[in-house]
Structure 1
Amino acid sequence: MTVPDVLAPAKLGPLTLRNRVVKAATFEGRTPGALVSDDLIEYHRAPSAGGVGMTTVAYCAVAPEGRTEADQIWMRPDAVPGLRRLTDAVHAEGAAASAQIGHAGPVGNQRLTGYRALAPSRMFNPLAMRSVHAASASDIERIRIAHGTAAMLAAESGFDAVEIHFGHNYFASSFLSPKLNKRTDAYGGSLENRARLVRETAREVREAVGGKLAIVAKLSMDDGVPGGFWLDEAIQVARWLEEDGSLDAIQLTIGSSLLNPMYLFKGDAPIPEFAQVMQQPIKLGVRVVGGAFLHEYPYKPLFMLESARQIRDAVSMPLMLLGGVTDREGMDTAMAEGFEFVAMARALLREPDLINRIAAEPKTRSLCIHCNKCMPTIYTGARCVLVSD
């Protein structure tokens, strides 16, 4: 097998990217009024100028109740002009732009959005301190259709790709979880039923924009929660998605934003920093019992690789490796292991020009120390706190 050069051009569905490096979706906290700001444009222009093949705008909700807080973008005609300015800025730097579309489901916070949160079954959201309603059959259909509409708006806004959010116990991912999905209808019970929404949503997007945009899905491999969605089931879901032919690639992820958020990030758990940005009574709760919710996991390079290998062995479609990709050595390992793309987040937040620097000097090491103090900054504008203004 010929190992591809991670920094050479590559095909992704109908796209040709200048390289195989994708800036992963990380919520920016730069969309006042749920619209694009100049600050958001610069946030994505910088890594585009810095050499990535594609940058991912996160998070573009498909419905107003699909946000986790009120200032997140939701896809509607009013958002298109600003999104067009953003994609124009990214394209001017030679990169492609992807819109992460999805519905927050039980991760949605009614206290912040004013809309009721939805899940496969009635449950309690420990972050919002409120009950989450069970989605009706009409809710499921409406949200599925809304993904297709959002994808069409993304195309109108100049995006080159969409990334459908099937991870982190957001709406579709919560249906995959046997811990959260207690339904007895066609969307609950067996894995085939629990995966029905994921498959139908991907088909909806394919029918809406197939051939116009590249279609990627962010798919959880495991929730990091006892009784939740796990790797053995993720392997089968990936196989079904490949058989359906609705996606051009899958970006693999882990963790639950609802029940175990640090499982995705690894490294330090910034409990004092989280408490500082929260309002009461959540602030007090984080200070007192934050360690019981924000678990600390040791960081290591390519920390998702071991699980991702099992997905790689099960499907032949393109896969993106996320998690601890920070240098040329890790990128080359991913290529040698059969992954077509790599996705980076925290390292690019620390150094938006990291890819250009690696291209110039392959032994360049990332300055990111995985302190995760960037995580609480999503409420005030995502940034690396170690970088001076």
Structure 2
Amino acid sequence: MNDIFTPAKLGPITLRNRVIKAATFEGRTPDALVTDELIDFHREVAAGGVGLTTVAYCAVAPGGRTDRHQIWMRPEAVAGLRKLTDAVHAEGAAASAQIGHAGPVANAASNRVPAIAPSRMFNPLGMRFTKTPSVSDIAELVAAHANAARLAEQAGFDAVEIHFGHNYLASSFLSPILNRRKDAYGGSLLNRARMAREIACAVKEAVGDLISVPAQLNMEDGAGGGLTVPQSLQVAAWLEADGALDALELTAGSSLLNPMLLFHGTPPLRSFGKVLPGPARFGFRFVGKSFLKEYPYQEAYLLERARHFRRAVTMPLILLGGITNLDTMLQARTEGFDFVAMGRALLREPDLLHRIQADESARSACVHCNECMPTIYSRTRCVYRPNLSREPIQLTLG
């Protein structure tokens, strides 16, 4: 199916092609608002040829950030976000806002409010215990997602991608190792999926068909006792039946328990050990090797898991993970995936798609070293990419 570079529908919108710039936190918002650097980052990717670029990420509440420098959705953020979407649209691409709540992945010390988790646990980023939300708290969090989606639409976004992955809040509710609740939001898989389903329906009700509503869903946590592929398949089937989502972007891994399952390739142990905030850096010396596991890189490394989802649901699916060349894109289309998402390859070469269109044999210059991962603390970038004109922003996380 050689239609990668032809227009494609994503719910109510039409993208110029089937390639999406995946959400990769940019580290360019030191005051939790849009900056010229953030606009330039997405303008460059849009000019490079993607159909849709994803702003990562837009928290639905101030306590839902992994650190206090990230954008959270409130009226004061709309004007800057509108400048960003205007810049992306001027390059012919569409713009998506990834909305969500970091839950137990939030940095309570940086945000200066407790992190939230379905059950009480120790928050390693904030070095303190989490808050367990009541049923009324959960209702407020669901409403916050709907409000964030409305603000995104006002800011000119073409889509909002809901974050149901990596053990952020909704994902942590799905995970039996993190969710030990005894109420309507815990216990059975049906109960653990309740929050994600309520969020999806609330967001859809808030924006209707004005913009597209995909979601990023964990296929598995990659940790003993965590969410498994069979469980996630059932969640995907429920989300499809609810009819609130326009697509699922399939991901894997846990920011708390196993982050390298998402990335594959070389774990950047030494670099992470240098940039983590003080207490976390100390703990990383002892658990770094077990925390950042090594998974050999190969093209389309999440495809084997994703195939199960393609067989189980009929809704549009977005394949993520190791998409760097036209051959892999075409394989994804042949196997029934509607879109592909690219991350690290576009950090290295924002114009990679133009190169591929000019030469179908073009290959990404990304070497899968993952040295870009620790740069989230200082301005996310490929460390081997030349001609970056500005010095990194230094963020204080404590």
TM range (shorter): over 0.9
1:349 counterpart residue number: 347
Q: Which residue of 2 aligns with 1:331?
A: 329
Answer whether contact 1:127 1:258 (CA < 8 A) is retained. no
Could you tell which deviates more after superposition, 280-289 or 345-354? Answer: 280-289
Matched with 1:236 is 234
List structure 1 runs of 4+ shifted beyond 4 angstroms: none
Q: Which amino acid aligns with 1:90?
A: V
| Matches for 1:108-147 after TM superposition, within 5 Å | 108-147=106-145
- In 2, Cα distance between equivalents of 1:289 and 1:151: 38
TM-score computed with the length of structure 1 as normaliser? 0.98
Q: CA deviation at 1:286?
A: 2.0
1:280 deviation in Å? Answer: 1.7
Is the CA contact 1:176–1:191 (under 8 Å) kept in the aligned structure 2? Answer: yes
- CA distance in structure 2 between the partners assigned to 1:362 and 1:106 by the alignment: 43
1:369 maps to which residue?
Answer: 367
CA offset digits 1:148-204 (Å, max 9, x no partner): 000000000000000000000000000000000000100001110000111110000
Letter of the 2:216 counterpart: K
What is the rounded CA distance, in whole Å, between the counterparts of 1:251 and 1:227 in structure 2? 23
User: Residue 68 of structure 2 corresponds to which residue in structure 1?
Assistant: 70
Following superposition, the deviation at residue 211 of structure 1 comes to: 0.5
Contact 2:348-2:365 within 8 A present in 1 as well: yes
2:91 aligns with one of 90, 93, 102: 93
**1:4 Cα deviation (Å)?**
5.2
CA distance in structure 2 between the partners assigned to 1:194 and 1:239 by the alignment: 14
Task: Indicate whether 1:159 and 2:130 are aligned.
Answer: no
CA distance in 2, matches of 1:26, 1:164: 14
| Residues 271 and 287 in structure 1, CA contact (< 8 A), matched pair in contact too | no
Contact 1:276 1:283 in 2 (8 A): yes
- Structure 2 CA distance for aligned equivalents of residues 296 and 134 of structure 1: 32
Structure 2 Cα separation of the partners of residues 45 and 261 of structure 1: 28
Q: 2:106–2:125: 8 Å Cα contact kept in structure 1?
A: no
CA shift, 1:111, in A, is: 0.9
Q: State the one-letter code of the partner of 2:155.
A: S
**Deviation (angstroms), 1:278:** 1.8
- Distance in 1 of aligned mates of 2:285 and 2:264: 20
The number of equivalent residue pairs is 387
| Aligned counterpart, 1:51 | 49
SS at match of 2:130: strand
- The superposition leaves residues 346-382 of structure 1 with CA deviations (integer Å, 9 ceiling, x where unpaired) of 0000000001110111110000000000000011100
- Greater Cα shift, 283-292 or 74-83: 283-292
Residue-by-residue CA offset, 1:303-339 (whole Å, 9 max, x unaligned):
0000000000000000000000000000000000000
Structure 1: runs of 5+ lacking an equivalent: none
1:307 aligns with 2:305: yes
Equivalent-residue separation in structure 2 for 1:378 and 1:359 (angstroms): 30
Partner of 1:176: 174
Query: In 2, Cα distance between the equivalents of 1:243 and 1:279?
Result: 43
Summarize deviations over 1:52-111 as a string: whole Å, max 9, x none: 000000010000110010000000000001000000000000000000000000001111
Secondary structure of the corresponding residue to residue 82 of structure 2: helix
What is the SS of the residue equivalent to 2:213? strand
1:255-274 mapped onto 2 (5 Å cutoff): 255-274=253-272
More divergent stretch after superposition (121-130 vs 11-20): 121-130
Corresponding residue for residue 19 of structure 2: 21
Q: How do 1:29-48 and structure 2 match up within 5 A?
A: 29-48=27-46
Q: CA deviation at 1:126?
A: 2.6
* Rounded Cα–Cα distance in structure 1 between residues aligned with 2:2 and 2:315: 15
Which of 3, 19, 37 is matched with 1:5 structurally? 3
Q: Is the 8 A contact 1:48 1:90 kept in 2?
A: yes
State the Cα distance separating 1:296 from its structure 2 match: 1.4
Higher deviation after alignment, 127-136 or 91-100: 127-136
More moved, 284-293 vs 295-304: 284-293
Please provide the CA RMSD for this pair. 0.8
| SS of residue matched to 1:164 | strand
> Any unmatched runs of 5+ in structure 2?
389-398
